[in-house]
């Protein structure tokens, strides 16, 4: 059974393929001839994830899944949330985004935050969503050079390293995306795709 992951990130595709095993052949957007950037015009992670998966399923008639991720800060009423990538503007610059977030948290004691990933799977017989959450706090100074986005200022609960100080393997054992993908993989392995 062929399944499309709506991404061009080959590392992500290999990671998920390893989790799925041989029952599914995982392909990316380029493999199905999709070279356009997928739109993210919705106001929720669920909406963006669904929009991307629907586009691929309808345009290329292939079973697929898409993800969307946001950082939700408690003291900022869940912001930046769905706008995490462009929090400081359409240039989507991680340094600018972190700077704006730290400015908005200046003087605020409550630093609780969570990363949340939503994955939407669409097959000929329906759709299903999976969520992964990683709780932590926002620290004042950037630490670490790995990862991307807000990783240098996000300290997961129970850890002494930020996400940007962890190796990819360490991050993948606890990340929000890994948790959502784990649920997706469990679902796919325990149910025939035609009944998904």
Residue from 31, 67, 68, 169 carrying the catalytic annotation: 68
> Is position 96 annotated as part of the catalytic site?
no
The C-alpha atoms of residue 75 and residue 108 are separated, in whole angstroms, by 8
User: What tokens does 169 get?
Assistant: 């393997």
Evaluate the CA torsion angle 97, 102, 105, 110 in order and state its sign. Answer: positive
Query: Could you list the active site residues?
Result: 68
């Amino acid at each position: 059974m062929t399944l499309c992951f709506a991404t061009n990130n080959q590392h992500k595709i290999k990671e998920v393929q390893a989790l799925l095993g041989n029952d599914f052949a995982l392909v990316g957007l380029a493999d199905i001839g999709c070279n356009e950037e997928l739109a993210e015009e919705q106001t929720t992670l669920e909406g963006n994830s669904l929009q991307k998966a629907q586009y691929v399923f309808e345009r290329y008639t292939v079973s697929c899944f898409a993800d969307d991720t946001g950082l939700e800060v408690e003291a900022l009423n869940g912001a930046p949330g769905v706008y995490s990538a462009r929090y400081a503007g359409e240039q989507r610059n991680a340094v600018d985004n972190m700077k704006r977030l730290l400015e908005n948290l200046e003087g605020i004691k409550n630093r609780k935050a969570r990363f949340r990933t939503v994955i939407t799977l669409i097959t000929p017989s329906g759709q299903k969503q999976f969520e992964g959450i990683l709780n932590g706090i926002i620290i004042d100074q950037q630490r670490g050079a790995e990862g991307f986005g807000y990783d240098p200022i996000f300290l997961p609960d129970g850890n002494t390293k930020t996400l940007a100080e962890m190796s990819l393997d360490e991050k993948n054992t606890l990340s929000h995306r890994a948790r959502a993908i784990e649920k997706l993989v469990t679902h796919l392995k325990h149910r025939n795709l035609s009944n998904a």
